[in-house]
Structure 1
Amino acid sequence: MSRLKRVHKWAAAIVFMLITMGMYLVPVQPAAAANEGSVYVIPVKQQIERGLTSFMERGFKEAEEMSAGLIVLEIDTPGGRVDSAGEIATLIKNSPVPVVAYVTGDAASAGAYIALNANKIAMSSGSMIGAAAMVDGRGNPIEDAKLISWWKTTMASAAESSGRNANIAKGMADINETVEMPEIGITKQPGQIISLTADEALKTGYADIIAGSTNEVIAWMDYSNQDVFHMQPTFSEKLASFLTHPGVMTLLLFLGIAGVIIEVIVPGFGVPGILGVASFILYFFGNYVAGFAGWETWLLFIIGLVMLAIELFVPSFGILGIIGAISLIAGVVRAAYSTSHVALSLGIASASALVAIIVVALVFKERGVWRRFILSESLTREQGYIPIEDRDVLIGLTGVALTPLRPSGTMELEGRRLDVVTLGGFIDSGKPVRVIKTDGTRIVVEEEIG
């Protein structure tokens, strides 16, 4: 009997050990998510412009194609173009896939508008949403009453569509708006602008949850963290983002303008021309990939270059040159996302290029294209040139007609070729002729009869 007890004890110990080892070796399965489908995460962590719109369009298309169950926008932006924000908002509203805006930093200005169009808003601690007053390219408040009224209404409509208080959105958009909501701690006087912290947004209903990570947001929406796709920009999109940086854009315009013009006025090098054309191609490529430029900008650029080249060799009183310059400038401006920014870049690049062109022209003046239009050698007496004031000494001298004089032609006099005219008669070549008078630049001759 004691032996049987010992067997039972050993068996119990072995079972216990097996159960314990199984707990460590077999992973615990997470609780199944209530919603099925992958999660597509799109970063919105740059200034809002047309390049971001193209990026977002690709993201929403890919999410729909992969039958994603949820799209999460990770937002941290200072704002940007209102028209681009409107295009992104339309993407969100028309998306068949639910969209959650997760504010990880700032959702300022146009960024707040994008967030308000999402189905849900989550915010991280330390983030903010609001401060959506419209400003110009220099950061100064816009004072156009109609434009402000439109933007305020647009913000309010976005807030109402997701069940949020429209008055708060108006206070975010209009610095002159008065908002009195003491029951939720919001009081705004003219001259102030509303921006909400994560806690304030949660209290006022402008945030649905405060989350510490994207995974926490995904779990909150009852989706699994096992099937999450984080969208990344392609190499072309990264290159376009670099090329459309204002500083890089200015450098490309400088190299393009200076390189092409230097190649034209100092031909034969090749390097300036190649560098100039390559810089223009990179400028237009960056803006094209970013979604700023279309095929028409390439056409304007090519027409401009052709017109300027033709003007150099077929003078048209400046008409072709003016058309070419206008075409080039129009192509450059239309290719950029901001007229004010490209105007500044173009101005700086043009001024810098002008200085570079002048320096190169002075250094290589002996090789310049102007040599075709400027007399580079002085005419001397040895070459047959006789100043006007000295031509009276020819009167009475005799030479030979080298060409028929009908009545003008050429004679040879003491080894020099002179352009002469008769008094109206014709003299055959080879006949002796005598200078009878000079009249300014004219040398008048008659046939010498021996």
Structure 2
Amino acid sequence: MKKYSLNILKVLIIISLLVIMGTPAHSQEKAPIYAIEVDGIINPATAKFIIQSIDQATENGAQCLIIQLDTPGGLMESMRIIVKKILNSSIPVVVYVSPGGARAASAGVFITMAAHIAVMAPSTHIGAAHPVSLGEGKESKTMSEKIVNDTVSYIKTIAKTRGRNIDWGEKAVRKSVSITEEEALKLNVIDFVSPDLQDILNKIDGKVVKFDGVTRTLLTKGVKPRSLEMS
């Protein structure tokens, strides 16, 4: 009787293991994904919204935050606040220049290149990051040169951190060059081109994102992004 009970127990254990092994990965609950839209000039309100969104997504255990971006540029200080937050984020930040006809100009270049994953939609462009200078005269020219040199160093640091095209980043600042999404892809300014959010989620599924001494594998396929709105 004891031997019979032991055999039954073994059978039950084997069945349990088979059930666990046969459970598809997609049946396990995946961490949420959050998405926001930034459409317009980069300013203190924009910076606050992005910072709050990253914080909220992090607190809610999100696997990443997607920023849909369309901007002509904006304030340098606000841009730097945003970039600093993205570079130090404990969750991956995806910047998606979209929809078609959108742009990541001026401040938008820095934000896009700072992303862990940079994506552009078809018929979009990026560039023209030369700092706007006000005033005339020798002192203004000297100050302008200082600002440009500082901004060049900043974009080069961002590009190096994310493994993007450092030379193009410098040209975008010094010469205000601007390129299409296809050119950006070829020049290693962005990671890929996608027509919509669903395509992005399919492409980054299984992607390993590296942080400081930490790696995270994204499991995004089939996950519906949760939208966050500016309050």
TM-score bucket (shorter structure): 0.7 to 0.9
Contact kept? 2:30, 2:223, Cα under 8 Å: no
- Return the letter of the residue paired with 1:132: A
Q: Are 2:119 and 1:111 equivalent residues in the alignment? A: no
Name 1:101's counterpart in structure 2. Answer: 95
Q: SS at 1:89's partner residue? A: helix
Per-residue deviation, 1:225:
3.9
- Return the letter of the residue paired with 1:209: F
- Return the letter of the residue paired with 1:88: I
Name 1:127's counterpart in structure 2. Answer: 124
Q: Are 2:35 and 1:52 equivalent residues in the alignment? A: no
Q: From the superposition, tell whether residues 224 and 33 of structure 1 become closer, same or farther in structure 2 (CA, over 3 Å).
A: farther
CA distance in 2, matches of 1:225, 1:95: 24
Q: SS at 1:72's partner residue? A: strand
Q: SS at 2:26's partner residue? A: coil
CA distance in 1, matches of 2:177, 2:63: 34
Name 1:219's counterpart in structure 2. Answer: 202
CA distance in 2, matches of 1:94, 1:229: 22
Alignment of 1:128-167 (within 5 A): 128-136=125-133, 143=141, 144-167=144-167
Instruction: Map Cα deviations across residues 108-160 of structure 1 (whole Å, 9 max, x no partner).
Output: 0011101111111111011111110111479xxx8411111000111111111
Name 2:187's counterpart in structure 1. Answer: 204
Q: From the superposition, tell whether residues 232 and 202 of structure 1 become closer, same or farther in structure 2 (CA, over 3 Å).
A: same
Instruction: Map Cα deviations across residues 292-319 of structure 1 (whole Å, 9 max, x no partner).
Output: xxxxxxxxxxxxxxxxxxxxxxxxxxxx
- Return the letter of the residue paired with 2:199: E
Per-residue deviation, 1:53:
1.0
Name 2:4's counterpart in structure 1. Answer: none
CA distance in 2, matches of 1:31, 1:217: 20
- Return the letter of the residue paired with 2:37: P
Q: From the superposition, tell whether residues 124 and 102 of structure 1 become closer, same or farther in structure 2 (CA, over 3 Å).
A: same
Q: SS at 2:152's partner residue? A: helix
- Return the letter of the residue paired with 2:145: A
Q: Which structure 1 residue ranges, 5 or more long, are not aligned?
A: 1-29, 176-192, 235-450
Contact kept? 2:113, 2:158, Cα under 8 Å: yes
Which of 83, 88, 99 does residue 82 from structure 2 map onto? 88
CA distance in 1, matches of 2:119, 2:29: 18
- Return the letter of the residue paired with 2:48: S
RMSD: 2.2
Name 1:171's counterpart in structure 2. Answer: 171
Q: From the superposition, tell whether residues 151 and 35 of structure 1 become closer, same or farther in structure 2 (CA, over 3 Å).
A: farther
Per-residue deviation, 1:32:
3.0
- Return the letter of the residue paired with 1:32: H
Contact kept? 1:33, 1:224, Cα under 8 Å: no
Q: SS at 1:92's partner residue? A: helix
Instruction: Map Cα deviations across residues 232-280 of structure 1 (whole Å, 9 max, x no partner).
Output: 122xxxxxxxxxxxxxxxxxxxxxxxxxxxxxxxxxxxxxxxxxxxxxx
Q: SS at 2:156's partner residue? A: helix
Name 1:281's counterpart in structure 2. Answer: none
CA distance in 1, matches of 2:222, 2:57: 16
Instruction: Map Cα deviations across residues 410-430 of structure 1 (whole Å, 9 max, x no partner).
Output: xxxxxxxxxxxxxxxxxxxxx
Name 1:385's counterpart in structure 2. Answer: none
Name 1:312's counterpart in structure 2. Answer: none
Q: SS at 1:32's partner residue? A: helix
Per-residue deviation, 1:206:
1.0
CA distance in 1, matches of 2:25, 2:55: 30
Instruction: Provide TM-score, normalisation by structure 1.
Output: 0.39
CA distance in 2, matches of 1:155, 1:79: 15
Q: Which structure 2 residue ranges, 5 or more long, are not aligned?
A: 1-23, 206-219
Instruction: Provide TM-score, normalisation by structure 2.
Output: 0.75
- Runs of 4+ aligned structure 1 residues displaced above 6 Å come to none
CA distance in 2, matches of 1:230, 1:145: 41
CA distance in 2, matches of 1:49, 1:171: 24
Contact kept? 2:114, 2:159, Cα under 8 Å: yes
Contact kept? 1:78, 1:108, Cα under 8 Å: yes
Contact kept? 2:164, 2:190, Cα under 8 Å: no
Contact kept? 1:45, 1:77, Cα under 8 Å: yes
CA distance in 2, matches of 1:35, 1:135: 48
CA distance in 1, matches of 2:227, 2:53: 10
CA distance in 1, matches of 2:186, 2:62: 31
Higher relative contact order (CA 8 A, sep 6+): 2
Per-residue deviation, 1:212:
0.4
> Structure 1 vs Structure 2: percent identity of aligned residues?
28
Q: Are 2:68 and 1:67 equivalent residues in the alignment? A: no
Per-residue deviation, 1:36:
3.3
Per-residue deviation, 1:165:
1.9
Name 2:3's counterpart in structure 1. Answer: none
